[in-house]
Amino acid sequence: MKNLWSEQEAAASRQKWAEGSQSALALRIYSSHLLGQNPSLVLHGGGNCSLKSQQTDLLGRQVPALFVKASGHDMGHLTLAGLPGLKLAGLQELQALKNLDDLAMVNQLRSHLFDADAPTPSIEALLHAFLPPRFIDHSHADAILTLSNQTNGAQLLRQALGDQVIILPYVHPGFALAKAAAEAFAAQPTAHGMVLMQHGLITWGEEARTSYDRHIELVTLAENAIQKQIGTPPTLPKIDLQEAKKRYRAIAPQLRGGLSIPSQQPGRPRKRFILRPLIQPESLAMVGDEQSQEQLLTPPLTSDHLIRTKPLGVWIENSRLIPLALSAYREAYLAYVNRYARPDQTPYDSSPRVLFLPGIGAVCAGESADKATVVRDITRQTIQVKSQIAAMGTYKGLSESQLFEMEYHPLQQAKMERQSSPALEGSVAVITGAAGAIGAGICRELLQQGCHVAATDLAGEPLNALVAELAADHPGRVVAVAMDVTSPEGVHEAFGQIIDTWGGVDLVVINAGLAHVSSLEEMSMEAFQRLQRVNVEGTLNLFSETGRLLKKQGSGGDVVLISTKNVFAPGANFGAYSATKAAAHQLARIASLEMAAMDVRVNMVAPDAVFSEGSRKSGLWAEVGPDRMKARGLDEAGLEAYYQNRNLLKSAVTARHVANAVLYFATRQSPTTGATLPVDGGLPDATPR
């Protein structure tokens, strides 16, 4: 492993982070970045680091302090805010205790903070407090786990790392581990580091660079030992990745539907998952090996991964076995929980997070795209390490009771219970005509509710600019997908791209539409047919594709058609728009009859006079506005005022109002399908009847 320490970068870190005499803290941040940004050492918030220094208290006294990474913070992007300071002397006194349960330990940690508003320190803070060295680094290095997670792991580690490293059998993280590590250090105070079996590597030093250098040195020794025993890795068989991706696209909706969980509130949205496939030569080769199933269906490399991956994955031989495999997994998971749970412990959801499929590789699930990506990265690392172990010996992970103890750790349980999920977390929505005022407003509100949004429209700058704007606030949860709704093949391919990205679709908002101003007497057939292709045929294409997909997914869903008040109260010189939107509206009513048996609800929202969404102008009013202004002798502002004043509530209808109506249906606030919700401020002539 390459040592990346740079004195020039260390000096720059001092300049950036040092405040007063905090030069050591600046180096603490610098070396944590070096470790945390190396995925073969630390993944997604794992690992830990600390510094023992001084802090000035309110009385002006210099007090011994421990600065340790806060729970949930990322070493690769650590800041001073992520290194809360604690009163070290008080923490060290706790070492005299024989026992300290986890909740009491956290209370002690928070009681010893210099700043009561600081984030909660890591569960391993006492380990850092009880070990004497000034700088301490902790990682989950791949090479160390490759050696430690074998039946003869301690022997392999000793041979690779030498006598200057302490090897500590697995101990549950928290007070017990802190005590055990301190006792082991006291017995060998000249050691350079410590391996926590099935957990990771700890190194230390009086200087930041010393601890970092030792970390890289020990990982390199482990890598060399692995290389010596395995030799040159075998050549991977020739694999057709495109064929694997094609298989994934075909099976993903069924997988995603099977993973979803009905809401505990009847009729409300299901708990859904985002899928991220791991389709690469290494995963395809290992999952394709007949001997690999036993190797892969073993516990995680480290307990740090449990909250992301669950104790075990599931093996699915082919698509026909998806329901059976998922049912068996859920039964086994609940039986595992029941073997160890206390009466006050509630099981987490029983859906697996890692699915192995021959011919595809691995499919990883999470409540959001970010969480699914974390699972995918961990799974990639896990496959690499377990494949190396398979070439060396026999894998040894944590026991079932140890897995449960960590997965249902009281602190973890409390954290899970504190998390409040947005209403549409894990859901995927497709919005057509997204680049317009109404479409953009719907995208924005769905994202606020945790939804993953595929913004679709004709390819071009308006769509790209919208998604760039939305992605700045919602990274990873919005994508631009070019779609011409008049092309059945184009609609099918666009939905396929969304499946590739997130695994499926749950909500389709049919918003794309065209307008045209002309009397019936003067209307050209070409103009009428242009609107018919988009407003009617485009709607039919979307209902057809959506119906096929949601049937395959098998977990219900919602379709919302953005209709118009013109269906009920058409206007003169607006016949093509009114007629074609009425046809689309009728298609939606029929779809509500045909799709109800699949738990797919189809509803309509009928707005009036939505002019703009911020700086985004309505395409419909760009077409209609000039004629309406000319007919009434009004400018643009006057026209908006006219439409506002003609409704009963004297309300200006905005894209957000339309979006809220979509949300009403998407969040299933009532058992409703086939309904039309007016968003028009009250127009008696347009009341559905």
Find, among 513, 449, 475, the residue nearest to 669 by Cα: 449
Contact 298, 395 (CB under 8 A): yes
- The crossing angle, in degrees rounded to 10, of helices 281-288 and 241-259 is 70
Using DSSP's 3-state secondary structure scheme, residue 32 falls into helix
**625's tokens:** 């506005």
Q: Are 510 and 429 in contact (CB under 8 A)?
A: no
Could you give all domains of the chain from N- to C-terminal order, each with its CATH number? 7-230 (3.40.225.10), 273-406 (3.40.225.10), 428-617+654-677 (3.40.50.720)
Which run of H or E residues covers position 557?
A: strand 557-562
CA distance 463 to 443: 12
Dist. CA 123–CA 109, nearest whole Å: 9
**Matching residue, tokens 């979803």:** 260
Looking at residue 269, its pLDDT comes to 80
Mean pLDDT by 10 residues, the chain (689 residues): 95 80 87 95 89 90 94 90 95 96 92 94 95 97 97 96 96 94 97 96 97 98 95 79 96 97 79 96 88 91 90 94 97 96 88 96 96 96 94 94 89 58 93 95 96 97 96 96 98 98 98 93 96 98 98 97 95 93 98 97 93 64 64 72 86 93 96 95 84
H or E element that contains 200: strand 200-205
Residues 6 or more apart in contact with residue 153 via CB below 8 angstroms: 147, 197, 396
Place of tokens 């058409």: 570
Cα separation of 57 and 51, whole Å? 17
Q: What span, in angstroms and rounded, lies between the C-alpha atoms of 674 and 83? A: 55
pTM for the model stands at: 0.92
- Looking at residue 26, what is its pLDDT? 93
Angle at the Cα of 605 from the Cα atoms of 618 and 617, rounded to 5 degrees: 5
How many residues are given for the chain?
A: 689
Q: In Å, how far are 207, 362, 445, 541, 569 from 494, measured between CA atoms?
A: 55, 23, 22, 12, 34
Rounded (10°) angle between helices 241-259 and 322-340 = 60
Report which secondary-structure segment, H or E, holds 607: strand 600-607
- β-pairing, 612-613 vs 616-617, is antiparallel
635 vs 629: CA distance, rounded Å = 6
Region for 573 from its dihedrals, namely left if φ exceeds 0, alpha if ψ lies in -120 to 50, beta otherwise: left
Beta carbons within 8 Å of 171's beta carbon, 6+ residues apart = 177, 180, 181, 196
Contacts of 159 (CB under 8 A, 6+ apart): 225
Alpha carbons 558 and 508: distance in angstroms, whole number:
7
